[in-house]
Amino acid sequence: MISEIRFYLSLFWRRLPLFLLIFIPITAGAVLLAISLPPIYSAQMRLVVESSQIPDNLAQSTVDTPAQEQIELFQTRLMTRDTLLDIAGRLRPFPDQATMSGDEIIQAMQAATTIKSSFGRGQATLMTISFESQYPAMTVRVLDAYLTFILNQDAQYRSQRAGQTQEFFQQEVDRLAAGLNDQGAKIIAFKGSNADSLPDSLTYHRDLLLSLQDRVTQIDRDKSSLDEQKQRLVQAYEVTGRVMGSGSQQLSPEEQSIQALRNELASVQSVYAADSPRVISLKRRISQMESAFAAAKGQSPGENTDPAKAMLDLQTADLDSRIKQLSSEREVLQTQISEVQDRINRTPGNAVTLEALQRDYDNIQAQYNRTTDSLARASTGERIETLSRGQRMSVVERASEPTTPIKPNRKRLVVMGLFAGLVLATGTLQALDLLSGKIRRSKDLIDGLGITPMVTIPMMRSLPEERAIRIRRTGLSLLIGVVIPLLLWGIHTYYMPFDELARSVASRIGVSL
């Protein structure tokens, strides 16, 4: 065991320059990096999504966005290219920002910003935003800019959504109101063009039709009665040679007929107007009979002066005139019956059309009522959002200027550098020893050739040779231990600081420092 330790110690001593050549640069680089990296400060703020200040059962906002979705929306808008460039351009949070491209600024802003959210059933929805910078005051300024942006976006988003909702329902109310007016105009126009055959007048028209038909029936009976009366007069005259009639014995038959017509005219004038066809007809008949009676009295001796025949002619003429009048009245009534029947026939179709128009009007009216109610609620919701009484983002904890940096952990970097240098240097020596294939001791001879030597004779060097080898190794080790750190210091001082070099290398390989 002791021989093994001595062997490896001697081997390490022979490889010491190579060990130092690997170990010292890594360790020195870690130390320089730990010393040169600037301190990074971090500040954070916390936001919460507050519920509406007005109970929903009293007045409800029209902006019903879930809290989680609202936070994700603001986070996405905050991390957009334009927003980050605007904030970085105003605050200039990076010392070398003047030499950075737009993409580099965005990557640096995104890397320095951390956004976390927490939510759950029965829990408040929180949003935590932190920012890292070399300058403590800059972290607060950037977070204040983030806060201003989020609060403005929240107010603008909710008021804009509420305004758009109100505008939409206002447009719908106007559209439906115009539709109601158009549909009402259609109904009025249809009723105006079909005023004589509307469903409301169907009962009246049916009653009128029955009345007209009864009147026609009565006229037919009156005509039949007059025809029979005329036929009896003619038959009586042919049989008896005189005309049967009632009246005063002192009046002639012609005078009795004229008197009867006058009595009838007096009776009719108490019922009908002076321009009534019946009144005019009676007056014309009286005039004709009076003319005929006067002409009969002034006839020549050779003419027929039979008073019975004259009376028959007068009475038959009167009956014919009455029959003709009834026939004319019947034709008028038949025309009226045809018109009323046509109205009745057109009424069902008009009822269907009017019902369809009214149904459309009722549907539009129902939509208008619902939309008006929605507009009222949208107006209330818009007012709630304008006064900031609805769901909103509010600050729970504002950002305060940090006093202690959060990174880098310089001790950890130095320890990691020492450990990495030790592991890499030792591993390199071990790999070279395994790959060399040299026989340095009897065990290697046994393992490599499969023979057991009786005696092994080591290489014998003189004392001056041993001293020269030690001096050479010691000098080379000191050279490596001094020159390499000085070289690294020169690179850090005159070429590029180690923190920038580390960040440049990390950015190329995709690692964030």
Residue 498: pLDDT band (50, 70, 90) is: low
DSSP annotation of 39 reads P
- Does the pLDDT at position 59 exceed 50? no
Please state the rounded mean pLDDT for residues 476-489: 66
d(CA 431, CA 249): 171
pLDDT given at position 250: 44
Name 432's Cβ contacts closer than 8 Å, sequence gap at least 6. Answer: 15, 18
pLDDT at position 145: 92
For the stretch 184-209, pLDDT in tens is: 898 889 888 888 888 888 888 889 88
Give the three-state DSSP class for 294: helix
**Average of pLDDT values for 486-498?**
67
Q: How many CA atoms lie within 13 A of 378 on its CB side?
A: 20
pLDDT at residue number 448: 59
pLDDT of residue 244: 55
Q: How far apart are CA 188 and CA 190, in angstroms?
A: 5
Q: Is residue 445 over pLDDT 70?
A: no
Tens digits of residue pLDDT in 115-157: 888 765 556 678 889 998 888 889 899 999 998 888 887 777 7
Confidence of residue 388 (pLDDT cuts 50, 70, 90): low
What pLDDT score was predicted for residue 454? 61
The pLDDT value recorded for residue 254 is: 67
Dihedral angle, C-alpha 176, 178, 182, 187, nearest 10 °: 60
61-65, 105-109, 160-164, 293-297 — most confident range:
105-109
Distances (CA, A) of 66 to 120, 125, 297: 12, 10, 116
Long-range contacts of 351-356 (CB under 8 A, 24+ apart): 351/198, 351/199, 351/202, 353/190, 354/187, 354/190, 354/191, 354/198, 354/199
Percent of the chain with pLDDT over 90: 4
Contacts of 74-79 spanning 24+ positions with Cβ under 8 A: 74/127, 74/150, 74/153, 74/154, 74/393, 75/115, 75/117, 75/127, 77/149, 77/153, 78/115, 78/146, 78/149, 78/150, 78/153, 79/110, 79/113, 79/115
- State the distance between the two ends of the chain, measured CA to CA, in whole angstroms: 45
Interval 215-241: pLDDT, tens = 889 888 888 888 888 887 777 766 665
Is residue 4 a contact partner of residue 369, using CB atoms and an 8 Å limit? no
The average pLDDT across 75-93 equals 89
> What is the mean predicted confidence (pLDDT) over 94-107?
86
Write down the pLDDT at residue 57.
45
Q: Where are the domains of the chain?
A: 2-37+408-509, 199-373
C-alpha closest to that of 243 among 322, 323, 318, 327: 318
476 pLDDT higher than 70: no
Confidence tier at 415 by pLDDT (50, 70, 90): confident
Which positions ≥6 away from 108 have C-beta within 8 Å? Answer: 94, 100
Mean pLDDT, the chain, whole residue set: 75
The tens digit of pLDDT for each residue in 290-328 reads: 777 667 655 444 444 456 676 777 778 878 888 888 888
Q: pLDDT exceeding 70 applies to what percent of the chain?
A: 65
> How sure is the predictor about 4, in pLDDT bands with cuts at 50, 70 and 90?
low
Choose the most confident range, by mean pLDDT, from 343-352, 429-438, 471-480. 343-352
